[in-house]
C-alpha cells in the first residue's frame, strides 16, 4: 500500500540546487538569509512562483530587516507607490495613478500589501517602459535626448554593455534576427536600471528581495551581472522558475540556471 501511495504522489513543484540536487524550502531559506540580495526570477503567470515569493518574504521578515523591489513597478511611479505604502492614498488611487500590470491584484498586491503592513521599503526599480521602447528602436543613443528628470529614472548613462553575454545573444536568436542588435540593448537598459535602483535602495545589513522575470537573472546574467560589476562585495543569491512535465528530476538544460530552481509541473494552472 505504501509503495502505491508513493507512486501516486503528484508534487506541484520541487526545489533544486544549481546542480540538480533536491533541497527543502527551510534549507534554501537558511542559506538565503546569509545573503545581501536575492533575485527571485519568476514566470509572470505562475501561481507557485508567486506563492513562494510571498512565503519566502514572510519567513525572511522573521529573521532579517528587509527591503523589497520589483520589475513590475517603474521608477517614475516610485512616489505614487510610496504614498500607498505610507497610507496616504488608497488602492483605487494606486490603480489609477500607477501603471500596474494586469495581474497585479492576484500576483503582486499581496507582496506590496505585506510591505505596507510591515513598513518595508519597496523600490519601483524598472525603467519606464517608454524609454526601453526608445532603445529597442534606436539603441542607447535614443536616450541622449531625455531631460535630466527623465534620466533620473534610469541607470546613469552610458551603461556598460556586453553584447556577447549568452542571454543577450540568445534574444536575437529567439527572435530570428527581428529587432536586430537593439533588442538585447532594451533588455540591458532594464537590467542596468533595476540593478542601479536595487543598490540605491539597498540598506547595509538588510536583505533585499527583488522580484523579476526569470530571464532578467537566469544564468547569473542580466541584473546579477550589473550588480556584480558595481558591487562585487555584496553576496547575491538567485532563484529561478522552470517548468517540466516530470518535476521529480531536474532536466540537464535547467541545471545551473540559478542557485535555487523552482521546478513546476507544466500542467500547473496559470494566473492569466
DSSP bridge pairs for 261: 16, 240
Q: Which three cell numbers stand for residue 129?
A: 517602459
Instruction: Let me know if residue 1 belongs to a domain.
Output: no
pLDDT digits (tens, 9 = 90+) for 87-142: 999 999 999 999 999 999 999 999 999 999 999 999 999 999 999 999 999 999 99
In the predicted structure, residue 5 carries a pLDDT above the cut 90: no
Instruction: Let me know if residue 252 belongs to a domain.
Output: yes
CATH number at residue 176: 3.40.50.11550
Q: Quick one: pLDDT at residue 7? A: 53
Instruction: Let me know if residue 120 belongs to a domain.
Output: yes
Instruction: Let me know if residue 254 belongs to a domain.
Output: yes
Domain around 226: 11-265
In the predicted structure, residue 3 carries a pLDDT above the cut 50: no
The pTM of the whole model exceeds 0.85: yes
pLDDT digits (tens, 9 = 90+) for 24-71: 999 999 999 999 999 999 999 999 999 999 999 999 999 999 999 999
Instruction: Let me know if residue 131 belongs to a domain.
Output: yes
Count structural domains, the chain: 1
Strands 37-42, 207-213: parallel, antiparallel or unpaired by DSSP? parallel
**What are the Cα distances from residue 134, in Å, to 129, 140, 145, 151, 170?**
9, 8, 10, 13, 21
Q: How many CA atoms lie within 13 A of 253 on its CB side?
A: 3
Q: How far is Cα of residue 107 from the mean position of the Cα atoms in its chain? A: 13
Q: Quick one: pLDDT at residue 172? A: 87
H or E element: which one contains 38? strand 37-42
Lowest-confidence segment of 8-12, 23-27, 147-151 by average pLDDT:
8-12
**What are the Cα distances from residue 144, in Å, to 180, 191, 192?**
20, 18, 16
Lowest-confidence segment of 44-53, 166-175, 193-202, 230-239 by average pLDDT:
166-175
What is the dihedral angle through the alpha carbons of 52, 54, 59, 63, rounded to the nearest 10 degrees? 130
- What lies within 8 Å, CB to CB, of 121 at 6+ separation is 67, 68, 85, 115, 201, 203
Instruction: Let me know if residue 271 belongs to a domain.
Output: no
Instruction: Let me know if residue 129 belongs to a domain.
Output: yes
pLDDT digits (tens, 9 = 90+) for 58-78: 999 999 999 999 999 999 999
Q: Quick one: pLDDT at residue 1? A: 44
Instruction: Let me know if residue 116 belongs to a domain.
Output: yes
- pLDDT band at residue 177, thresholds of 50, 70 and 90? low
Amino acid at each position: 500500500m505504501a509503495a502505491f501511495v508513493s507512486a501516486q504522489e503528484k508534487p506541484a513543484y520541487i526545489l533544486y540546487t544549481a546542480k540538480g540536487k533536491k533541497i527543502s524550502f527551510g534549507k534554501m531559506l537558511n542559506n538565503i538569509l546569509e545573503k545581501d540580495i536575492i533575485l527571485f526570477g519568476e514566470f509572470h503567470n505562475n501561481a507557485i512562483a508567486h506563492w513562494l515569493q510571498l512565503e519566502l518574504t514572510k519567513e525572511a521578515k522573521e529573521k532579517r530587516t528587509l527591503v523589497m523591489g520589483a520589475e513590475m513597478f517603474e521608477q517614475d511611479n516610485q512616489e505614487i507607490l510610496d504614498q500607498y505604502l505610507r497610507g496616504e492614498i488608497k488602492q483605487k488611487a494606486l490603480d489609477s495613478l500607477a501603471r500596474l500590470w494586469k495581474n497585479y491584484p492576484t500576483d503582486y498586491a499581496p507582496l506590496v500589501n505585506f510591505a505596507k503592513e510591515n513598513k518595508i521599503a519597496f523600490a519601483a526599480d524598472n525603467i519606464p517602459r517608454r524609454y526601453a521602447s526608445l532603445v529597442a528602436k534606436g539603441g542607447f543613443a535614443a536616450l541622449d535626448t531625455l531631460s535630466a528628470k527623465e534620466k533620473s529614472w534610469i541607470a546613469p548613462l552610458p551603461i556598460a554593455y556586453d553584447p556577447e553575454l549568452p542571454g543577450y545573444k540568445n534574444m536575437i536568436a529567439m527572435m530570428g534576427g527581428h529587432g536586430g542588435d537593439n533588442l538585447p540593448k532594451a533588455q540591458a537598459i532594464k537590467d542596468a536600471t533595476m540593478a542601479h535602483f536595487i543598490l540605491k535602495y539597498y540598506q547595509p545589513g538588510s536583505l533585499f528581495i527583488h522580484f523579476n522575470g526569470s530571464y532578467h537573472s537566469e544564468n547569473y546574467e542580466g541584473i546579477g551581472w550589473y550588480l556584480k560589476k558595481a558591487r562585487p562585495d555584496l553576496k547575491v543569491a538567485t532563484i529561478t522558475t522552470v517548468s517540466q512535465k516530470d518535476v521529480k528530476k531536474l532536466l540537464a538544460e535547467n541545471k545551473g540556471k540559478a542557485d535555487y530552481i523552482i521546478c513546476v509541473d507544466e500542467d500547473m494552472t496559470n494566473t492569466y
